[in-house]
Amino acid sequence: MGLPLYTAKSTASGGRKGVARTSDGQMELALSLPKGLGGKEEDGTTNPEQLFSLGYAACFDSALQLVAGQAKKQITSEVTAEVSIEKKLKGFGLSVKLTAEMTGVTQAEADDLMEKAHQVCPYSRAIDGNVPVKKKAIAK
């Protein structure tokens, strides 16, 4: 393990029908089971897959901006992360689809930046080899 530069701390209780909160008190979110998993998916609630997709999209967009800057490319970007929970042979697993829309580059450059961002994004690195990730770059 490396030297931590920043540590986020959150606590959850009650499982998928409980609550999750950050240690700094900035976020407290009610959780509910999605309809696709047999739940009621109550208004005003979220679930672990939504939270993961939110973090992954933000982290990947940041990585994309980093590698674009290193390549001396000025882009505007928007990243969408779709996180699915799937039934596996033994239990459950996740899969991810990342879509990055970019302006200021050609399609070939967008594809290259997407691959480079995937190599440096901490979320991508954390799940590498464990979670399938489909990537799609769109130059606008």
Q: Which numeric CATH code is attached to 48-139?
A: 3.30.300.20
Cβ-based neighbours of 117, under 8 Å, separated by 6 or more:
60, 63, 64, 66, 67, 100, 124
- Can you give the pLDDT at residue 22? 97
- What's the pTM value of the predicted model, to 2 decimals? 0.94
Percent of the chain whose pLDDT exceeds 70: 100
Name the band, by pLDDT with cuts 50, 70 and 90, for residue 85: very high
Rounded CA separation 20/62 (Å): 25
Please give the helix or strand (H or E) that residue 97 lies within, else none: strand 92-103
Q: How far apart are CA 136 and CA 50, in angstroms?
A: 20
CA distance 87 to 106: 38
CB atoms within 10 A of CB 15: 9
Pairing of strands 92-103, 133-139: parallel
Tell me: the pLDDT tens digits for 99-113?
A: 999 999 999 999 999
What architecture does CATH give domain 7-46? Answer: Single Sheet (2.20)
Q: What is the DSSP letter of 42?
A: -
Spans of all domains in the chain: 7-46, 48-139
